[in-house]
Chains A and B, each alone.
Chain A
């Protein structure tokens, strides 16, 4: 850390910020990976189509799968940024729970749609801020800091609700989940998911912020030497993850029509699994939004096919585990050939 910086080394050890081809290369490599993920998804769609042609290959089912993917999908976009930067956020599920119960407390519901939406986002960002400050400026390991947030946010969510289910009574919020609200056949939740995905992709691949994220994840020291404020970058990344959790909490409120302290249960694991299946390195420095979103879609499609074929939850869990292993093994193959 206190090593003297020699100018020549600095100029040869350029970070991706100054080399546009770096992300072009990343994009190309990601394409091979993306294709293999699309292959998995296509295989699943084939299985679904063969086993339950009428129910699976149905517009309503497509809407359903995408809607169910939206909440965890938005969380996963934020998670991808954090993992690409070499961090981890174990608190996403708990933040979703806290944001959803806070946004559905009776007081908040009096302020209607805007009150609920903004409370969810502010709580998400607030939790992200605490995570970010602890990690970036408190020099805490992300695993520990977000684990602490997981415990305390869940505890706070339980305290706020007192174990009760907070049913939403604001019609404009509930209407957003109804079929009348679909835009050209697309549920509003899916639209939000799509917008978050596109923005996430643009930010990670087309902005300085995105390149800095990759740089911090690849080699924090090099990034620091290149003049990136690594700590501030980390703070922003956890804020971003928190914001995504806040948005996801709002989507969940629309979807489930209520806030509950059990909301977002195990989201952290689902989001990490989706990101890893999508080709994001757990050690940081590499990852794509498209891959993560495909990972989420693969999971949601599996769940959908299982439910349509009336498989029981024990079988579902075993198969889900097997598919994670298989997908990562396939990933290794494609990764080593590129």
Chain B
């Protein structure tokens, strides 16, 4: 997915550059007021001021997990912030057929813009295409559709980047330690995102020849599975220097297993950005030293983008007239130095 994203990014970049050239070409005859003024300064950019009324349809998966729950909350709260936005939200579902039905209902209701976080991106591509053909632009949230024709804009997290940044963080912390051993507690192995996170992690570790990944076990994104798998890992690896855990929810269980085993001889990096993880990092009295973000704020941003789309505006701070075609969020590393800044985004 990362490769596709970057390739699309390249295409988009090229398109933006040529569009920019076109704009400059068209406007170069006109004398410009001041030289340092950005080209697109007078374009309409989305801001907080009420504008044209927009009805946004939102369809997401069942919020049976901390992160997904935070996604719904973020979307709702952001929509409430705008007086000109009406949010039509469907009941979350992990059933593909049901979600297709829900999106079709939203299409029939003629919402202005759709925001879709599909339970399964590939399986929902067709209904994305259907919406686009019906003239309803789709903001595809996180789990990507099969073809760019099925959405106007994609915004989501960077699973590969999570692994990469976790790997680099651990690499820097273990720098100079020869024969360092690292283990990985992965998420659900039948999800593609888990494989991307692992690949990013492995790629990052290649930069540090002194580090060897000695074990990897997959849990199921649940506290229970995190505890069970971590307890086994701790038993299997009597000595290691660092642990990367893909998900802060299962991390609650993993931390419990670590505590129960009485181990504190390694550093742990989490993933996602749960409030409990932030609190543990801030307290700094356990093994958890950092977590790599997969920000649920992307849902709020998706509402912003959908509103801008509905009002035909661009994004403030960017030169383009239109909103971008693709936005990949950064998987920032949150540790003791910056945890206060991220604390408000932590989800339960």
Taking beta carbons and an 8 Å cutoff, which residues of A are in contact with B? 52, 54-55, 58, 60-61, 64, 67-68, 158, 162-165, 167, 177-179, 252, 255-258, 260-265, 303-304, 307-310, 312-314
Contact A163 B68 (CB under 8 A): yes
Contact A64 B224 (CB under 8 A): no
**CB within 8 A of A164: which of B69, B189, B236?**
B69
**CB within 8 A of B66: which of A68, A163, A252?**
A163
- Residues on the A chain within 8 Å of B229, using CB: 307
Contact A61 B235 (CB under 8 A): yes
**CB within 8 A of B228: which of A68, A158, A163, A258?**
A68
Contact B233 A307 (CB under 8 A): yes
Contact A307 B64 (CB under 8 A): no
| Shortest CB distance A47–B (Å) | 15
**CB within 8 A of B235: which of A165, A178, A308?**
A308
Contact A64 B69 (CB under 8 A): no
- Known contacts A177-B260, A255-B227, A307-B232; decide if A262 and B69 are in contact (CB<8 Å): no
Q: Please measure, in the bound complex, the distance between the C-alpha atom of A158 and the C-alpha atom of B93, giving whole angstroms.
A: 13
Residue from A165, A265, A312 with most neighbouring chain B CB atoms (10 Å): A165
Number of B residues with CB within 8 Å of any CB on chain A: 39
- Known contacts A179-B260, A314-B189; decide if A262 and B232 are in contact (CB<8 Å): no
- Residues on the B chain within 8 Å of A307, using CB: 217, 229, 232-233, 235-236
- Residues on the A chain within 8 Å of B260, using CB: 177-179
Could you pull out 7 A-B pairs where Cβ atoms are within 8 angstroms? A164-B69, A165-B66, A177-B260, A178-B259, A262-B221, A310-B216, A313-B218
- Residues on the B chain within 8 Å of A58, using CB: 235
| Shortest CB distance B79–A (Å) | 18
B332 sits at the interface (CB 8 A): no
- Residues on the A chain within 8 Å of B231, using CB: 64, 67-68
User: Which residues 154-208 in B have Cβ within 8 Å of A in the complex?
Assistant: 189
B133 sits at the interface (CB 8 A): no
B276 sits at the interface (CB 8 A): yes
Which stretch, B26-34, B136-144, B248-256, touches the partner chain A? B248-256
- Residues on the B chain within 8 Å of A67, using CB: 231
B63 sits at the interface (CB 8 A): yes
Q: Please measure, in the bound complex, the distance between the C-alpha atom of A313 and the C-alpha atom of B274, giving whole angstroms.
A: 25
Residue in A closest to B232 when the chains form the complex, CB atoms: A307
- Known contacts A256-B253, A256-B256, A310-B216; decide if A158 and B223 are in contact (CB<8 Å): no
- Residues on the B chain within 8 Å of A255, using CB: 224, 227, 256
B65 sits at the interface (CB 8 A): yes
Given contacts A163-B65, A164-B69, A262-B64, 15 further A-B contacts (CB under 8 A): A52-B236, A64-B231, A64-B235, A68-B228, A158-B62, A165-B249, A255-B227, A258-B253, A262-B223, A263-B222, A265-B220, A307-B235, A307-B236, A312-B217, A313-B218
Contact B63 A165 (CB under 8 A): no
Contact B64 A265 (CB under 8 A): no
Contact A167 B235 (CB under 8 A): no
- Residues on the A chain within 8 Å of B276, using CB: 165, 167
B134 sits at the interface (CB 8 A): no
B215 sits at the interface (CB 8 A): yes
| Shortest CB distance A251–B (Å) | 11
B38 sits at the interface (CB 8 A): no
- Known contacts A64-B235, A177-B260, A303-B232; decide if A310 and B68 are in contact (CB<8 Å): no
Residue in B closest to A310 when the chains form the complex, CB atoms: B215
Closest 3 CB pairs of A and B: A163-B69, A307-B232, A163-B63
| Shortest CB distance A32–B (Å) | 33
Contact B252 A165 (CB under 8 A): yes
| Shortest CB distance A175–B (Å) | 11
Q: Please measure, in the bound complex, the distance between the C-alpha atom of A158 and the C-alpha atom of B249, giving whole angstroms.
A: 15
- Residues on the A chain within 8 Å of B214, using CB: 310
Contact A310 B252 (CB under 8 A): no
- Residues on the B chain within 8 Å of A61, using CB: 235
B238 sits at the interface (CB 8 A): yes
B262 sits at the interface (CB 8 A): yes
Q: Please measure, in the bound complex, the distance between the C-alpha atom of A60 and the C-alpha atom of B236, giving whole angstroms.
A: 11
Contact A162 B216 (CB under 8 A): no
Residue from A52, A58, A257 with most neighbouring chain B CB atoms (10 Å): A257
Contact B65 A262 (CB under 8 A): yes
Contact A258 B236 (CB under 8 A): no
B348 sits at the interface (CB 8 A): yes
Contact B66 A256 (CB under 8 A): no
Residue in B closest to A255 when the chains form the complex, CB atoms: B227
Residue from B63, B214, B235 with most neighbouring chain A CB atoms (10 Å): B235
Contact A256 B223 (CB under 8 A): yes
**CB within 8 A of A55: which of B216, B218, B223, B238?**
B238
- Known contacts A163-B69, A308-B232, A312-B189; decide if A258 and B348 are in contact (CB<8 Å): no
Q: Please measure, in the bound complex, the distance between the C-alpha atom of A102 and the C-alpha atom of B222, giving whole angstroms.
A: 17
| Shortest CB distance A238–B (Å) | 24
Residue in B closest to A266 when the chains form the complex, CB atoms: B220
Residue in B closest to A158 when the chains form the complex, CB atoms: B64
| Shortest CB distance B237–A (Å) | 8
Contact A260 B256 (CB under 8 A): no
- Known contacts A163-B65, A167-B276; decide if A260 and B216 are in contact (CB<8 Å): no
- Known contacts A258-B252, A261-B64, A307-B217; decide if A164 and B348 are in contact (CB<8 Å): yes
- Residues on the A chain within 8 Å of B222, using CB: 260, 262-263, 265
Q: Please measure, in the bound complex, the distance between the C-alpha atom of A52 and the C-alpha atom of B348, giving whole angstroms.
A: 38
| Shortest CB distance B229–A (Å) | 7
Q: Please measure, in the bound complex, the distance between the C-alpha atom of A68 and the C-alpha atom of B224, giving whole angstroms.
A: 10
| Shortest CB distance B159–A (Å) | 18
